[in-house]
Amino acid sequence: MIEVATFAAGCFWGVEEVFLDLPGVEATRVGYCGGHSYNPTYKDVCGSDTGHAEAVEVTFDTDKISYADLLDVFWKCHDPTQVNRQGPDFGEQYRSAIFYHTESQYEAARASVADLENRHLFRRPIATQIVPTAQFWEAEAYHQKYHQKNGGGCGF
């Protein structure tokens, strides 16, 4: 079965990169989610007044990769204890968030957080928001598959 998952974990270029080639991931696209303005641009989102997060939408085949597997990748690709920042990037658009699409995704995300907290893997509390998916606005074409087109990487 094909499902969609949406994650925000800092700069969407690097986040897309970690999901892109996972077996079972059918497609990715980067964009903006969780804000209050209509069809924002990168410039709008970076201005910190739209409320959007840079996010990655992941289309995946549940027969080949589970949502729990995607959550594991999500937790490993960023620091979920930071509020509104990742590394040198700061602002609300770089927040950590899971935008769930179904009740089962919500339950899996909550269970995943509880497991991480019970294992004390982080020195600080997890700050990741777990919120219902909102309108996903696809980012400009030059942002899509950015590292594939331009080289580089985020060191994950």
What are the boundaries of each domain within the chain? 2-150
Q: Does the structural domain 2-150 have CATH classification 3.40.50.300?
A: no
What is the predicted pLDDT for the residue at 47? 87
| Token pair of 101 as six digits | 């699409």
Catalytic residues: 11
**Would you give the end-to-end CA distance of the chain in angstroms?**
28
Q: Which residue stretches of the chain are H helix?
A: 12-20, 42-46, 67-76, 103-119, 146-150
Residue with tokens 């996903």: 136
CA distance 97 to 83: 10
Strands (E), the chain: 2-9, 25-33, 53-61, 85-86, 89-90, 96-100, 129-132, 137-138
Query: 24: alpha, beta or left, given left = phi > 0 and alpha = psi -120 to 50?
Result: left
In degrees and rounded to multiples of 5, residue 53 shows phi and psi of -105, 145
The whole-number pLDDT of residue 155 equals 45
What per-residue confidence (pLDDT) applies to 154? 55
Q: What is the pLDDT along the chain (156 residues), one digit of tens a residue?
A: 999 999 999 999 999 999 999 999 999 999 999 999 999 999 999 986 899 999 999 999 999 999 999 999 999 999 999 999 998 889 999 999 999 999 999 999 999 999 999 999 899 999 999 999 989 999 999 999 998 888 765 544
Q: What is the pTM of this model?
A: 0.94
What is the pLDDT, as a whole number, of residue 153? 58
pLDDT at residue 88, as a whole number: 86
Exposure on the CB side of residue 93, measured as CA atoms within 13 A: 21
